[in-house]
């Protein structure tokens, strides 16, 4: 009898252990499924958060990057423009006249006794300066013909031998702060323009003033946000600087 009771107790304990294990196994499965669902939920949520953060970061980085690249292009172009300015003055000191423009794209001055055309591109070969701006386009160049021809003087005072203009000579290029705007500089002998990244596609009235081949040009703050847009970079030769340099060089009295 005692032996039977002992066996019954052992069976009961074993049954209890098996039930506990089964329960534990069920709980583990349930917990695993719950964790799996939770894990999947977190992953999707995390991915969404990561995508949003990445979007914000990339958006925030791309704008400054394009702004920095644009600034570098403009700075590089400005350096070439300054070189061209200095080269024009140096050319005038050496030759007694400003160079005529290049009109056929070979970088060489086109002229006979006077300029083939008062407006063209910078004669980069003759000046020894950069051929193009940061966007791979040539620099527009206009000169007052009387300051670049081989005729001494321009009809005022006494002409100095070997110099195309005199101290009293007046040039003809005017620069405004907008198309039909206020004067920025009047009667300049030469001007050089880099037309910016939109070189050939502009519809801006202010920029068109720099491509219409007359003696009026525009220089103003760059802005592409509102019409009329403007991204041109402009330099010109002051007649006073030009004449002072030629006096210093002993070419003008």
- What is the binding site for Ca ion (CB under 5 A)? 146, 149, 151, 154, 164, 195-196, 198, 202, 207, 209, 212, 214, 216, 231-232
Closest approach of Cβ 98 to Ca ion, in Å?
Answer: 10
Q: Which SS3 state, helix, strand or coil, does residue 193 take?
A: strand
Our measurement of the distance from residue 79's CA atom to the centroid of its chain's CA atoms, rounded to an integer in Å, reads 13
- H helices present in 96-167, as ranges: 124-127
Task: Choose among 192, 206, 100, 185: nearest CA to 146.
Answer: 100
Task: Considering the complex, state which of residue 74 and residue 195 has its C-beta at the smaller distance from Ca ion.
Answer: 195
Q: Which one, of 205, 201, 199, 204, lies nearest residue 134 by Cα?
A: 199
Extract the tokens encoding 80: 């070439």
Q: How far is the CB of 157 from Ca ion (least distance, A)?
A: 12
- How many helices (H) does the chain have, and how many strands (E)? 4, 7
Would you tell me how many other CB atoms lie within 10 Å of the CB of residue 23?
10
Cβ distance to Ca ion smaller for residue 124 or 147: 147
Q: Which residues contact 81 (CB under 8 A, 6 or more apart)?
A: 139, 192, 194, 233, 235
Comparison of 73 and 146: residue with beta carbon closer to Ca ion:
146
Nearer to Ca ion, 6 or 247 (CB): 247
Closest separation in Å from C-beta 250 to Ca ion: 19
Query: Shortest approach of Ca ion to residue 204 CB, angstroms?
Result: 7
Nearer to Ca ion, 1 or 200 (CB): 200
Give 115's DSSP letter: B
Minimum gap (Å) between residue 97 Cβ and Ca ion: 7
């Amino acid at each position: 009898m005692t032996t039977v009771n002992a066996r019954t107790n052992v069976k009961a304990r074993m049954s209890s252990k098996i039930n506990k294990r089964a329960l534990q196994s069920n709980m583990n499965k349930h917990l695993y499924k719950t964790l799996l669902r939770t894990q999947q939920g977190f992953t999707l949520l995390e991915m969404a958060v990561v995508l949003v953060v990445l979007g914000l970061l990339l958006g925030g980085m791309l704008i400054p990057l394009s702004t920095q690249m644009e600034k570098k292009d403009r700075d590089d172009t400005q350096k070439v423009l300054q070189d061209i300015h200095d080269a024009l003055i140096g050319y005038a000191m050496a030759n007694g006249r400003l160079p005529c423009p290049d009109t056929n794209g070979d970088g060489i001055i086109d002229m006979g006794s006077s300029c083939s055309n008062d407006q063209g591109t910078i004669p980069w070969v003759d000046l020894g300066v950069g051929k193009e701006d940061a966007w791979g386009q040539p620099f527009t160049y206009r000169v007052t013909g009387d300051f670049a021809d081989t005729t001494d003087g321009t009809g005022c005072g006494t002409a100095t031998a070997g110099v195309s203009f005199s101290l009293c000579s007046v040039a003809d290029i005017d620069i405004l702060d907008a198309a039909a705007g206020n004067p920025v500089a009047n009667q300049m002998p030469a001007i050089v323009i880099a037309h910016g990244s939109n070189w050939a596609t502009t519809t801006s009235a202010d920029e068109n003033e720099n491509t219409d081949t007359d003696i009026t040009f525009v220089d103003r703050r760059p802005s592409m946000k509102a019409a009329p847009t403007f991204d041109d970079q402009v330099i010109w030769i002051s007649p006073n600087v030009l004449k002072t340099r030629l006096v210093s060089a002993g070419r003008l009295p």
